[in-house]
Amino acid sequence: MTQNKETFAVPGFLANGIHAGIKQDGMKDLALIFSTVPAKASALFTKNCLKAAPVLLDMERMKTGLAQAIVANSGNANAATGSSGYNDAVAMSKSASEVLNVDDDLLLVASTGVIGHRLPLENISIGMRELVNGLRQDGLPLAAEAIMTTDKFPKIACQKGIIGSKEITVCGVAKGAGMIEPHMATMLAFVITDADIDSRILKTVFKEAADRSFNAITVDGCMSTNDTAIILANGIAGNKQLRSSSANTSLFKEMLFHVMSDLSRHIVRDGEGATKVIDIFIDKAKSVEDAKRIAYAIANSNLVKTAFYGCDPNWGRIIAAAGSAGVQFPIDNLTLYIENIPVFTHGCRTE
């Protein structure tokens, strides 16, 4: 399994990103990822009860488990825009499907940016032909740039591996810098692969990889209206279809996790005001859920954050945050390591 750092491209997929006039600063703001054939699809969406219009549209369309393109804009979230906003999301989709000459139901839509404003549909419609005409095999970096908002850099990752006798590619792009907290808040992520994989297995491995990556990061503990993660698998690699309980499926799962983990770390590294990336490991908790609650209590503690910002290994703040998680554990069982150095052992400061 290798990471391709030179060309971010997946066979059977084209992509592009342009400035369509949604943003006022001239930066790219309209992205398109297109599969040359209909692809199996799975998606995960925000847990926020105030879901943006494109999220509601995609949730309906994902019932088929198929998609052929993702059109996304930045600079405008199309959230808190009522039924008019939903109609705008449909219109944005239709604008893309007509130029692409594909079934509109195979289009997925995503938006990110300022909440409460209608989409500039005229700008999007005019820009769509330029966007489609510029589709290219190596266009993922352009798409990654076009979904940025407060991000300082585009986020992209890719893995290649041999499954059976076929080369499989998995690539992904993402955006996110502020308001990052599970589950995927203010985060867009689009993953594409040429692997042939059973639809049910695709849904399962995507959810599992998201739980280990996108749903395991936090920057400022806020949750958005628009977070969306989508995977498309077009099967063009021609491998024997991946099904459950096989070594090849396990290999694909690890490739997928590496891509999504890389994207997640890019998001944390680009967090608004962030100067450090901290990994938190919880060992020997009674359950995964308990471990997550403790980890997030530590990660979201402002006192812990300020300690790390000041390069102060203040173990007292860390154990205090752990104790506030609502998980019962004897302090005599608690041991804390910072950079593999024991600083608190079995309930006492390490001498």
> Catalytic residues, which ones?
186
Helices vs. strands in the chain: H and E counts, helices first? 9, 11
CB 28 within 8 A of CB 191: no
Structure tokens at 69: 């393109």
- 53-61 vs 82-100: helix crossing angle, rounded to 10: 60
Closest CA relative to residue 63, chosen from 199, 253, 205: 199
AA identity, residue 25 = D
Spatial CB neighbours of 180, under 8 Å, sequence gap ≥ 6: 186, 187, 217, 218, 219, 220, 222, 267, 268, 271
Peptide bond into 183 cis (omega under 30): yes
